[in-house]
Amino acid sequence: METYGWLLDAKRCIECRACESACKQWNKVEIGVGVRRRQVRIYEMGTFPMVRQQALSGGCNHCENAWCMKVCPVKAISRREDGIILIDQDKCLGCQQCAAFCPYGAPQFNLRTKKMDKCTMCSDRVDSGLEPACVTLCPTGALQWGKWSEISAQGSESTENFVNPKQTLPKIRFINDAYPVGK
């Protein structure tokens, strides 16, 4: 079966956070519970006058070698045939082991439910033949999604400010890098 992944062009990201809003709205993620399934993080690098910035939209990378899945003591985290990794809320103990081992900060503790939560790649939308909500609202096309067989050959496996992917094999690729501030 085909698996899916992300493609991020950081140079096209305008830091609007539409991806965050779309995710929160579609998935009905409550505010004030400490969960942001998708987040835009801004990094500033270099020294004056050669300052650069980079915006990275991140969620769960649905890694091939998902450490979160391996450390869950009750096997509440599983991978579907299409590569989407989900947390079974009925099994989750909220022990936060998955969060401690995920180098990308995807699993987050929900303060209300006392369980772990993370990006589901909008599996309900994928099952209906739609793209994840975050991708549909990105106004510049910086965040893309599709068949991993097509995405994996594009861009590079890493970029500045992204954890080394060699151990987890995340399903994300990057186009372009940071750019000078003001350009």
CATH number at residue 87: 3.30.70.20
Q: Which pTM was predicted?
A: 0.90
Domain span at residue 116 reads 4-177
Contacts of 73 (CB under 8 A, 6+ apart): 93, 95, 97
Give percent of the chain with pLDDT exceeding 70: 96
User: What total number of domains does the chain contain?
Assistant: 1
Q: Is the pLDDT of residue 178 over 90?
A: no
Residue type at 55 in one-letter notation: A
Q: Is the pLDDT of residue 179 over 50?
A: no
Q: Is the pLDDT of residue 140 over 70?
A: yes
Q: Is the pLDDT of residue 183 over 70?
A: no
**Has residue 165 been placed in a domain?**
yes
**Has residue 77 been placed in a domain?**
yes
pLDDT tens figures, 67-78: 999 999 999 999
**Has residue 182 been placed in a domain?**
no
**Has residue 47 been placed in a domain?**
yes
**Has residue 84 been placed in a domain?**
yes
**Has residue 11 been placed in a domain?**
yes
**Has residue 159 been placed in a domain?**
yes
Report the C-alpha gap between 84 and 122 in whole angstroms: 9
**Has residue 146 been placed in a domain?**
yes
Give percent of the chain with pLDDT exceeding 90: 87
pLDDT value, residue 52: 87
Enter the tokens of residue 152.
């994996």
CB-facing half-sphere around the CA of 43: CA atoms within 13 A = 17
Confidence of residue 177 (pLDDT cuts 50, 70, 90): low
